[in-house]
Structures are given as structure tokens and as C-alpha cells.
Amino acid sequence: MSSKEDWESRVLQPALGRPGALRRDRFQTDAEVPLPDVFGPENIDGLDYDRDLGWPGQYPFTRGVQPTMYRGRHWTMRQYAGFGTAAESNRRYRYLLEQGQTGLSVAFDLPTQMGRDSDHPTARGEVGRTGVAIGSLEDMRVLLEGLPLGRVSTSMTINATAATLLALYVAVADERGVPRGALQGTIQNDILKEYIARGTYIYPPRPSMRLVTDTFAFCQAEVPKWNTISISGYHIREAGADAVQEVAFTLADGIAYVEAARDAGLGPDVLGPRLSFFFNAHNNFLEEVAKFRAARRLWASIMRERFGSRDPRAQALRFHAQTAGSMLTAQQPRVNLVRTTLQALAAVLGGTQSLHTNSYDEALALPTEEAALLALRTQQVIAHESGVADVVDPLAGSYAVEALTNAIEGGARDYLRRIDEMGGMVAAIERTFPQSEIERRAYEYQRSIEEKERIVVGVNDFVVAEHAPPRLLRVDPAIEREQGERLRAVRARRDQIAARGALAALGAAARGTENLVPRILAAVKALCTVGEIADTLRGVFGEHRASTVR
């Protein structure tokens, strides 16, 4: 076999000298990791296979968190859904379960996320638009009607009002006689990334962290199978972060939550097994596969070396992935089916535990039933027809994948060091460090598209005359009026003394130090609304106002 130097001189250099050859300096990942002409052993020099890769299901979990991965069971197939009323969303959930979906994933509208009732003036025009409107226990009863709460795993993408939505879910289970110990699911409950990237916060960071840790403690005692947080890099990436920043800022948030839980009396081996993560599956295929592997390895070392964890379950980073909404294009929307397939395949080859595939029409509207079904079928084809689920970590040992895994881990460690020097992630957020870093990368990415350094098919190249758009889902504007009427009817017929008493007790607890979740649960059972509960806490904690990014 000829040496690499011989190959470069005899084969590569003449090829690069031919007319039309691509410039060598063009090749890098989206996170600006340089790509050599060809990957070889020298690119992973120093990689210790036992130490850095290990075996699936064992520390450092580079190769996956289960020894058999998808040979044992496929990832949970979730289709994130929610729109309009609770009744409409319930019908979509039933349809998706009938089509083979294996877990529920609930989207809430912006008023619900922001702790505003549907008849509040600031909710106008937003009710039921980006998710389902949930105002009280009566709405949650309708949303979950006929769904097997003791058997199905339910993920709820909710943050500032996470404790309230969890309480509503638990209250419905209590009414049905479903044991709390049987409930399985996840609340996102990741408030730090709201300050970094997404913006659906209510209270300042420090009282918000109290709500997070109160939820940890409540679930540890009452709902032990529930994942109490899904630490989210997805929205960080959607805001413009690159792959290295997504890993770094997500794990920095995770460190902050583990520290806060430790200070509240929950050690890393108590909390760790109930932590889950949520990552974006983006376009750059090999970089994305490497990103997931790097995140697992880095988190395992953080839990063991930084926090002294001894339980492998606490060291294993389990994650949900969703394909990249920000990569969907309104132009030639059916091409999004191709993008979503590649992104989903990267998540599977990267070892995800559950997956949502976006629908091709989501750059234009909420997904239609047909589009949601195609998105689900994409996962099912990968699982049952591609063969990739039959091999555990099939890309392990690839020079390119292992080199990129090392590069992403190294870049993320550099960011974590800088955040530690600032006093941790809460302090870094208060100084707007992650916000400004993401803003910089988002600008650079957009500029590369506008200057055609980066090609987006159908947007800045391969453009065609637009055909008729696909049939889109439309949310009936009457929903807002009807939802407001339902809320007013609930307020009118409830036991007013019980409702006022529950809110007063919640306010008193917020001014003290007791766990707030049992008080919130009592309030939702007294038919207090999501907005009333949030307003009670606003009266004690105040509201957060974002600083200008420097």
C-alpha cells in the first residue's frame, strides 16, 4: 500500500491542479471545523479506543447508552403536535397513535407558555396558533380523553409554566385513578435556554430555577418515572448556534441544573437518571452524528469527574432529537422531505432515544394530517427498511466521525471553561455571553447564504418558478372566542372560596421556602387557571426583562 505522502504527490496534487477543481480552503463543517483532503489514522492520533469509545452501554457512552441500542427496541417515535382546542389536538393524537406513533409530544400555544389565559388582552391573535390552548383542568381533561396515561409516554414542551402543566397532567391521572408511579413522560422545564435563545420566560432566572428544583423534588417523591427536565439545545441551535455551541451551552445549562439540585439536597446520582436532553438534528450529516457522540462522552465525564457520580445511569446522556425547523424552506417545500430524512438518519446514527420528524409544510403553516403522516412514515422507513437500526453505532471507528467527535468535544470544553470563569451559566446569561455568541454565529451563517458561500437548494440556487403551494392547515379564528368563553364559564361555576384560598396559599408559599408544586397542584384542582397561577407568582417573583445583547 502506498503512503499518504505518495498518494498526495502522485494522485491528489494533479487532481487539484485540473481546471474547475474546488478550492481546498472551502471545506469545513458548519461549526468551522476544518476538513482535510482525506481523513486517515493521523486525524485520530491519540484516540484511546477503550478510554474514549468504550462499548455501547458503558462509560463514556460515546457509542450509545444501551448495549444493544435499536436491536433491543427502536427509538420512541414522537410527532410534536398541538393546535387549536384541546378537542382538536386530542383527535390528532389518537390518529397518530393509530398510525404507529409510540409516544405523545404536546405543543402548547404561546399564551399557555407565557402564563396568560386565552381571554387576556396580550393573548389576542395567538390562541391555538403554535400549539394547543390549555387554560384549566377542564381543558387538560379534554386533551387527554381516551389516552392511556398509565402506558403511553407523554412529552410536554413547556418551560416557564412547566410545573403548572405537570400538575394538570397529574390531576387528570388522579381523577382517573392512574397511580402517579405509573406516569411516564417528560416536561421540558429548561428555563435557562429561554433566556439564551427562545424568550418564553416569565420570572427572573433565580426564582425560575427554584421552580425547576421544586419540580425535581416533587417528582422524585411522587412521580418517580417522570423525566423532570429536558435540557434543550434544540432552540439554541434554532436561534443560530453552531454544533459546538449547541453542545457547550446545553451542557452548561445541565451543569447549572445539577448544581442547583445538589444545593437543594438532590445529589447527582439521585437526579441524574431522570435528566434527559433535547438536541437538534441539522443538515451537516457527519458533523451531526459526531455531535451526538461528543455530547454523550462529554456529559459522562462531567457527571463522573465534576460531580462525583458513581451511578452509570446518571452518567448516560439520554436525548430526544427533532429535525431542524430552521432548515425548512417555504420555497419548494416538498424538498423538505429530503432534508428531514437526512436529519433523522443523522439522529438515528448518532444514537437518539426518541425522535420527532418535522413535516414538509411547516415553513408555511402547522402541519396537515397528511404531512404529519409522511413525517412519521419517514421514521418508520428508517427503522424497518434501511438496516441502520440493526447495527449498534455503525459509524464507530470512521476516521472522519471520530475526528469530528474529538473536535466538537474539544470546542465545547473550551466554551465550558470560559463559562466557569464567569461564575457559571446563570452568571454568563446575566452577562449575555451565550446570547451574543449565538447572535454572532447566526449573522455569519446568514451572510454566507446571501453571499452564496453556502447553497440552500431552492433559495439561493436551483430556484424554479413556484408551483401552487400544498394544502395548508388553517386555525379557525373563532377558536379564540370559544376558548375565552370556556374559561369564563369555568371561573363562573367553580367554588370561588376554594379557588381564592388555593391562590393565596400559593402566594404565601412563594414568599417562603416550601416546595411550590403541591400548592400549584391544589390550585389546578380548585380550577384555578394557568394565567391566575402565573399571575400569583408574578406578584411575588416579578417579571424578567431581557438585557440588550452586547
Q: pLDDT band at residue 98, thresholds of 50, 70 and 90?
A: confident
Q: Are 276 and 186 in contact (CB under 8 A)?
A: yes
Q: How many helices (H) and strands (E) does the chain have?
A: 22, 9
CA torsion, points 410, 412, 417, 418, in degrees to nearest 10?
130
CA torsion, points 466, 469, 470, 472, in degrees to nearest 10?
150
Q: Give whole-number Cα distances, 528 to 180, 274, 409, in Å.
A: 21, 29, 46
- Residue 80: strand, helix, or coil: strand
- Residue 186: strand, helix, or coil: strand
The CA R_g of the chain, rounded to the nearest whole Å, is 24
DSSP 303-363: IIIIT----HHHHS--EEEEE-GGG--SSSGGGHHHHHHHHHHHHHHTT-SEEE---TTTT
Fold exhibited by the domain 49-436: TIM Barrel (3.20.20)
User: Taking residues 254-264, what's their average pLDDT?
Assistant: 93
Regarding predicted confidence, which is higher, 473 or 384?
Answer: 384
Q: Are 190 and 230 in contact (CB under 8 A)?
A: yes
Q: Are 391 and 356 in contact (CB under 8 A)?
A: no
All structural domains of the chain with their residue ranges: 49-436, 494-541
Please state the pTM of the whole predicted model.
0.89
Query: How far, in Å, CA of 375 to CA of 140, rounded?
Result: 26
Q: Per-residue pLDDT tens for 426-435?
A: 999 989 999 9
Q: Per-residue pLDDT tens for 46-70?
A: 888 888 999 999 999 999 999 999 9
Q: Per-residue pLDDT tens for 278-289?
A: 999 999 999 999
Q: Provide CB contacts within 8 A for 299, sequence distance 6+.
A: 251, 254, 277, 315, 317
Q: Per-residue pLDDT tens for 170-213?
A: 999 999 999 999 999 999 999 999 999 989 999 999 899 999 99
- Residue 471: strand, helix, or coil: coil
Q: Please choose, from the candidates 353, 272, 274, 276, the residue with its C-alpha nearest in 3D space to the C-alpha of residue 311.
A: 272
pLDDT at 78: 79
Q: Are 261 and 216 in contact (CB under 8 A)?
A: yes
C-alpha cell at 33: 471545523
pLDDT at 460: 94
Q: Are 60 and 294 in contact (CB under 8 A)?
A: no
- Strand-pairing partners, residue 281, are 323
Query: How far, in Å, CA of 353 to CA of 64, rounded?
Result: 9
Q: Per-residue pLDDT tens for 314-334?
A: 999 999 999 999 999 999 999
DSSP type of residue 373: H
Q: What percent of the chain has pLDDT over 70?
A: 97
Q: Are 275 and 436 in contact (CB under 8 A)?
A: no
Backbone angles phi, psi at 422, to 5 degrees: -85, -10
Query: How far, in Å, CA of 144 to CA of 141, rounded?
Result: 5
Q: Are 115 and 534 in contact (CB under 8 A)?
A: yes
- Residue 124: strand, helix, or coil: coil
Q: Give whole-number Cα distances, 503 to 20, 201, 222, 481, 528, in Å.
A: 71, 21, 22, 26, 8
pLDDT at 491: 97
- Largest CA-CA distance found in the chain, in angstroms, rounded: 87
C-alpha cell at 425: 451559566
Q: Give whole-number Cα distances, 508 to 216, 217, 502, in Å.
A: 21, 19, 10
Report the phi/psi class of residue 68: left, alpha or beta, with left for phi > 0 and alpha for psi in -120 to 50. alpha
